[in-house]
Amino acid sequence: MQREQQAIGSNRISNGMMFLLAAACGLIVANLYYAQTLVGPIHIAMGLSSTAAGFIVTLTQVGYVVGLLFIVPLSDIIENRRLMVVSLIITVGALLAAAFAPNAPLFLTASLFIGIGSGVAQILVPYATYLASEEQRGRVVGNVMSGLLLGIMFARPVASFITSIWGWQAIFILSAIVVTLLTILLSRALPERKPAPTVSYGKLIFSLGTLLKQTPVLRRRALYQACLFGAFSLFWTVVPLRLADDFGMSQQGIALFALVGVGGAVAAPIAGRLADKGWSKFLTGLAMIIAALSFLLIYLFQNHSTVALILLFVSAITLDMAVSGNLVLGQRVIYSLGSEARGRLNGLFMSIFFVGGAIGSSLGGWSYAQGGWNFSALIGVALPLLALLYFFTEKETSGDVQKKPSAE
């Protein structure tokens, strides 16, 4: 443990290693989003009803939360590189099972395990901070999270493009090949990180509730991001419907629109660098205001004009910037709470705001069916405003210095 703590304080992560971890996060987390634009062809091939087709995406997300809560915490007691390799092997197997599944039950089971295995992305993010010095931490988190966010942004259009050429099975096969090569590379390139196990697995999982109770900053940051990610998920659930219904866009056009969100990922490394300079609290409030204004802008201009379409593009970029920037700010604060519980803290943080994203997606589909774009946009304004109201109750001057929770 002493040797690990010395490494944490003195190491400086190389640019090459930072790029590898960022690329790995993006390639792994993309597996959660490939199926989102492929629900149509997959549910037809699997013989699923339109209602049951929603499980194609939902089970992958459920699996991811399971991985966050029950696999990611193992990084606090098990050698990290070995844990990553095992998780990636599970992912490869699940991707191949999905590609060659002869029926819906097997495909849906494979989807669940794709989500569970993909939770390894949230082992890589805190792992990167172990390799970094204290003064690098914000920049490292920002750069690695940029890779993860780019994976999310590119997954949908890439899946649509490959499906249009080779069919929906091709994206799962290609991803399995890429993840296999990534597993080999990570097993050779990453240094070992052996945490000092102080608790059993049962106590480790039980400690999640204790950590959540004892760490107010974790609850606060997770709820901030849950509201913003809920708005993000609502937007990307509803905007394809708006583009098709009001602007007559084809599936290819919608896939190209999804590429717009990639521009928002630039906020992650910028937020990380500014957070290293003590700007965390200011930037957190700014992110919430930008997210609310992004929805307000497209609520006020609801016609079918070119101006309204351009504003949709602008809002997609600014909303993604707000969400990705705030995510890095939250993770930087959480990673400053101590190394011995960092895996569990990150798992809790990610699972809570991921639930917020699932709620946002559900609200998007429901609100669009009930009141169209007008109702959906209003909910989109409300979610970051709720976070902003809660933000005004924050008493810490910077949000960077917090009491470290007990590891048990």
Residues with Cβ < 8 Å from 244, sequence gap 6 or more?
254
> How many Cα atoms within 13 Å fall on the side-chain side of residue 375?
10
DSSP 193: -
C-beta of residue 83 within 8 angstroms of C-beta of residue 343: no
> Residue 218 burial (CB < 10 Å; 0-12/13-18/19+)?
buried
Kindly state the tokens that stand for 139.
């920049």
Question: Would the pLDDT of 4 be above 70?
Answer: no
Q: What is the pLDDT of residue 21?
A: 94
- Contact between 55 and 106 under an 8 Å Cβ cutoff? The reply is no
- pLDDT at residue 396 greater than cutoff 60: no
Residue type, 30: A
- CA atoms in the 13 A half-sphere facing the CB of 281: 14
Confidence of residue 150 (pLDDT cuts 50, 70, 90): confident
Average confidence (pLDDT) over 223-235: 92
**Which stretch of 235-244, 328-337, 394-403 has the lowest confidence by average pLDDT?**
394-403
User: Residue 8's pLDDT is what?
Assistant: 44
The residue ranking higher by pLDDT, 138 or 204, is: 204
The domain defined by 1-197 carries CATH number 1.20.1250.20: yes
Portion of the chain with pLDDT greater than 70, in percent: 91
**Residue 129 to residues 140, 175, 379, 399, 405: CA-CA distances in angstroms?**
7, 27, 36, 18, 18
Can you give the pLDDT at residue 312?
92
CATH 1.20.1250.20 domain locations along the chain: 1-197, 207-408
The winner for highest mean pLDDT among 1-5, 164-168, 241-245 is 164-168
State the CB neighbour count (10 A cutoff) for residue 178.
Answer: 16
Domain covering 207-408 in this structure, CATH number: 1.20.1250.20
Residue 404's pLDDT is 55
pTM of the model: 0.77
Most confident of 68-82, 126-140, 174-188: 174-188
- Report pLDDT for 79: 92
The overall average pLDDT reported for the chain is: 85
Q: Indicate if the pLDDT at residue 5 is higher than 60.
A: no
